[in-house]
Amino acid sequence: MELNQNEIYKMIAKVENINQGVHFCNTTVRTEEGEHINLKLDFDQLPFVAMGKVYQFEAQAIVKLEDELILKCLSITPAEKILSDDDLARVLEHFYVYAPIPMMEIKKGIESYLNKIDNPILFKITEAIYKENKNNFYMHPAATKFHHAYVGGLSHHTLTMLKLIDPFISVYPYLNKNLLYAATILHDMSKINEISGVDGEYTKEGLLIGHLVMETVEVDRVARSLGYQDSEESLLLKHMMISHHGQFNFGSPKKPQTGEALLLWFIDTIDSKFTVLGESLEDTPEGAFTNMVSVLDKMRFYKTTIKDEKK
């Protein structure tokens, strides 16, 4: 990049490195054009940059020594706060391994299920939490490893689970679709604060509390703010949040005690395992076994040679 003194530059870029010493701090970023650029930071800007995240940076070219120009960072804005949905989808797919479905398709799908919730209490609680987290929700991974550990993984996992609900309801009509839609949309929402990002690790709150309890607290907070704290909808939704890992040894403080909570655990388990199995089979020749699949007890699975087409 050619610099002109005092000119201000704006760029969408991904943080690749952060350096700091006693008297300096800076970050190296990669732009959409593939350039690696060093930006000088103030110490009070450090909390606003994270490894692996994409931001819009505004920087000014200033003289350092002997007419050398450097870029002094003026502002840092997360990409999801300023880009349109279409532009954000394009940028994410440029910088990251993204979900196998386009972001806009995932978003339309999830919002279609949100709008199918016809219980007003469940709809208002779910809508409020969804709107608070919408921007980050479509960027976040579902995990740091094991399953859906890529940008958009959290929302992709959620949409796949939502698609599994209606077939179960058609067979078991006693299940409440409103509870299932609401709980599925919300069940992993607190992973946004449990995991620092696609290239990140678990946060302090994530390690000490975990997303099951964190989301239960969120549902309780929003229900109280809306005046629904004593409703059965709020109680059952909180139960589904805190029990959706199914067993104590899987991190659930409670086991499922409603049909809807039981199904939420099952479809969560189904997608987390079958998605990873599908990814493993894609890389496996027909007639051979996969490598060990971590989420499936490190078992190896055979890829059939059987064809489905009629001759």
| H or E stretch at 205 | helix 204-208
Question: Collapsing DSSP states into helix, strand and coil, what is residue 113?
Answer: helix
Instruction: In whole angstroms, give the CA distance from residue 133 to residue 127.
Output: 10
Length of the chain in terms of residues written: 311
- Each of the 311 residues of the chain gets a pLDDT tens digit; together they read 788 888 999 999 999 889 988 888 999 999 988 899 999 999 999 988 888 788 999 999 988 766 678 899 999 999 888 888 788 878 877 887 767 788 888 999 999 999 999 999 999 999 999 999 987 888 777 554 444 456 778 899 999 999 999 999 999 999 999 999 999 999 999 988 888 765 557 888 989 999 999 999 999 999 999 999 999 999 999 999 999 999 888 889 999 999 999 999 999 999 989 988 998 998 899 999 999 998 898 999 999 999 887 75
Those residues with Cβ within 8 angstroms of residue 90's Cβ, 6 or more apart along the chain or in another chain: none
Instruction: In whole angstroms, give the CA distance from residue 260 to residue 48.
Output: 40
Rounded to 10 deg, the angle between the 120-137 and 103-114 helix axes is 170
Q: How is 236-296 classified by DSSP, letter by letter?
A: HHHHHHHHTT-SGGGT-SS---SHHHHHHHHHHHHHHHHHHHHHHHHTS-TTSBPPPBGGG
Question: Collapsing DSSP states into helix, strand and coil, what is residue 235?
Answer: helix
What is the chain's alpha carbon radius of gyration, rounded to the nearest angstrom? 23
Upper half-sphere CA count for residue 233 (Cβ side, 13 Å):
23
| H or E stretch at 114 | helix 103-114
pTM: 0.76
Place of tokens 């309780």: 220
pLDDT for the residue numbered 307: 86
Domain spanning 8-81: CATH superfamily: Nucleic acid-binding proteins (2.40.50.140)
Place of tokens 């005092």: 6
pLDDT for the residue numbered 63: 83
* Burial of 305 (C-beta count, 10 Å sphere; 0-12/13-18/19+): exposed
Instruction: In whole angstroms, give the CA distance from residue 25 to residue 46.
Output: 8
Instruction: In whole angstroms, give the CA distance from residue 92 to residue 76.
Output: 17
